[in-house]
A = this chain, B = another copy of it.
Amino acid sequence: MNIIRNPEKSTWSGLLERPRLNHSTLEEQVQKIIDDVALNGDAAVSKYTREFDHYDAANLEVTAEEIQAAKGNVSKELRRAIEEAHWNIQTFHKKQMHTYETIVTTAGVRCWQKPVPMSSVGLYIPGGSAPLLSTVLMLGIPAKIAGCKDVILCSPPDSSGQVSSSILYIANLLGIDRVFRVGGVQAIAAMAHGTESIPAVNKIFGPGNQYVTMAKQLVSRETVAIDMPAGPSELAVVADSNANPAFIASDLLSQAEHGPDSQVLLLTDSDAMIDRVKIELEKQLKELPRKEIASKALDNSKMILLGGQQEIMEMVNAYAPEHLIIVTANYADLAEQVLNAGSVFLGDYTPESAGDYASGTNHTLPTNGWAHSYSGINMDSFYKKITFQEISRYGLVNIGDAIMTMAEAEELQAHSNAVSIRLRSTEND
């Protein structure tokens, strides 16, 4: 890790800069696949599944028998862990359920804002040797609580056509309606445009590699909403001199093992802490199965010594980390000062991995500085809020002049007429 001591404020924006990705060549390649799927449906999806997943799909949809069989491949221990995580995630997200009330904004004018679940959502779950089973929980639980009518899931097959048993097991547990053995750009394109087998959805959720990310971005321009822009995962740790360096190192490494492009930051006002964390990092890194990945991520990462907690929190808010751990004696006070972050972990016994799996909060969070303006996935992500208004005759008499005056100031006479024609009719009554 790079160690920076007491940087001048003028250097902060350079210091906190994320790697800029250049996707221009990727874009063309991905758009071609999307257009092919939009035009040729299942035939195109099958073609790309053969090409990229080396599987010749007879049937894109996973069968009830396969889903039934999956349970047997999931250990009892893992099933118990899933059950526990399920409970906590459900508890936290259920408390976010929306209620609404009718507001009388002025005499005779009644307005309300009604949350209505999206009719159909598509969840994308990457496959590979280690399937992201926790992401099925994080996306599927709120989708089902919201009451989305159609919830479908796409995940790439292995070369024998199988989707990971743990993914199928959780999908079945949550009552996800249909699962398709389709991955990559072709999955995103199919959920955006619909094919003979795979229905088009209103919104697509889920992580993926740079191809999947680009595909989501491209389809979101035209036909379908997506959860949020995506980028490499990241963590900032705020620590004082009393924090536990071994715990901190374990958290930095848990973020670093995600990928060589992951970013971790340690912000502290204790120079000694930097040295102690450095020693712990070296010790713990050696033992990791993914030490090469983690070590690359650490090369891009920084430990920054700052003048005090005020400066530290200023830097946190300038960076807007996806994950933020605060391990200081006064962590509750500092938590109040967080303006920009995805999810925040407070105190010595709240590792980031708790939020990844089982504390109950969602792990789909804004990266790459988007925490300045985006929330992580929450119940809002699965609803639209539709406004309604009901105005009585008297109500329109009440606000009619204001409407007509403003409409005429905007030179929209027909807008004014829609009021005057009604007001005239009340006069004759």
Contacts and interface: CB of A to CB of B under 8 A. Distances in A.
A164 to B, nearest CB: 10
A173 interface: no
A277 B41 CA distance: 42
Given A81-B401, A406-B357, A385 B376 contact: yes
Interface in A163-206: 166, 202-203
Given A384-B374, A411-B129, A84 B346 contact: no
Interface residues of A, number: 125
Contacts of A351: 396, 403, 418-419, 422
Nearest to A248: B418
Given A229-B221, A247-B422, A354 B391 contact: yes
Interface in A368-397: 370-376, 378, 380, 383-393, 395-396
A106 interface: yes
Given A360-B109, A389-B355, A406 B85 contact: yes
Contact of A103 (B95, B106, B130, B229): B95
A88 interface: yes
Given A116-B339, A391-B349, A425-B244, A399 B84 contact: yes
Interface string A311-325: 000000100000000
A225 interface: yes
Contact of A344 (B132, B386, B406): B386
Contacts of A253: 414, 417-418
Contact of A421 (B80, B166, B247, B414): B247
Contacts of A140: none
Interface in A337-363: 338-362
Interface string A50-68: 0000000000000000000
Interface stretch (A4-12, A268-276, A282-290, A301-309): A282-290
A143 to B, nearest CB: 13
A124 B187 CA distance: 36
A229 B85 CA distance: 36
Contact of A391 (B116, B317, B347, B357): B347
Contacts of A82: 402, 406
A246 interface: yes
B353 A392 contact: no
A202 to B, nearest CB: 4
14 contacts: A88-B105, A250-B417, A254-B412, A287-B417, A288-B413, A338-B386, A350-B390, A351-B403, A355-B389, A358-B402, A360-B389, A361-B387, A372-B384, A373-B384
